Amino acid sequence: MNTAESNALDDRLGISGQTLKATKGAGRAALVGYLPVGYPSVAGSLAAMRAVVEGTDGLGADMVEIGMPYSDPMMDGLVIQHATTKALERGVHTRDLFTAAETVADAGAIPMVMIYWNLVHRYGVEAFARDLAAAGGAGLITPDLTPDEAQEWMAASDLYGLDRVFLIAPSSSDERIATTMAACRGWVYATSVMGVTGVRAQTSSAAPVIVRRARQADPNLPVGVGLGVSNGDQAAEVAAYADAVIVGSALVKCLIAADDAGSDDLRPLREKVADLASGVRRQAR
């Protein structure tokens, strides 16, 4: 690869993709932890995000996927729906995302925002990009926005140097996978099962297949796998073939258990993150 090609690839990897490149260079996958801002409260969610980055014994998440609660989530399973509904009831606002991004960045991890597109559109696309970049956010994961409808976001993300992560699924055609990955900056999010998110007893057999198809379409763009990982063993299994292991419901369940008990103890969350972080390091790559 010549210098121009190398520079073009670095630009395409963006902030978050460079992190995945670095963890791959270290012989492991990255751990991406999802938590919604505003649950159990805004302050409580910020403390939880710091805990996810720190973990225990130096084993924490490399990246935090900051979820913005939404009244009509299409992909979120019951665990995340419960938390985000509570967050909305307790008064979370879109601007709290920017505080969360600052918190994650200050803790030493990469902040990515997972948000349904109507919220960005209502805020103002360019204004959202401006404020997220100013807060240290790396970019957006947009589960309900496809590249062919993303012209305004493509322009704003280019203007402010933000990553854009689109989703592919087992049902995606080869052509759709290729066009989606071509529109990404950073990495591509491969959903390993059809349907909504949630903890599962075992990882999906479709996950290695969708990752392989993604690599055939574009071997240079990192691939993250989400939906279903709940423990270190499953994380190790997915880390054997994916560049990033994305975990959400298993972490949110720790917050729900504490909230139901009237506790702010984050030790179970830290221990869960450490188990998952240990899992992604278990596979020699």
Please say whether the beta carbons of 55 and 274 come within 8 A: yes
Alpha-carbon separation of residue 222 from 13, 23, 126, 139, 271 (angstroms):
8, 11, 26, 15, 27
CA nearest to 37, candidates 103, 87, 3, 71 = 87
Does 65 qualify as catalytic in the annotation? yes
Q: Which of 54, 62, 76, 96 is catalytic?
A: 76
Query: Alpha-carbon distance 252 to 69, whole Å?
Result: 13
Does 149 qualify as catalytic in the annotation? no
β-partners of residue 190 are: 168, 225
Please say whether the beta carbons of 197 and 75 come within 8 A: yes
Query: Alpha-carbon distance 61 to 51, whole Å?
Result: 9
Catalytic residue list: 65, 76
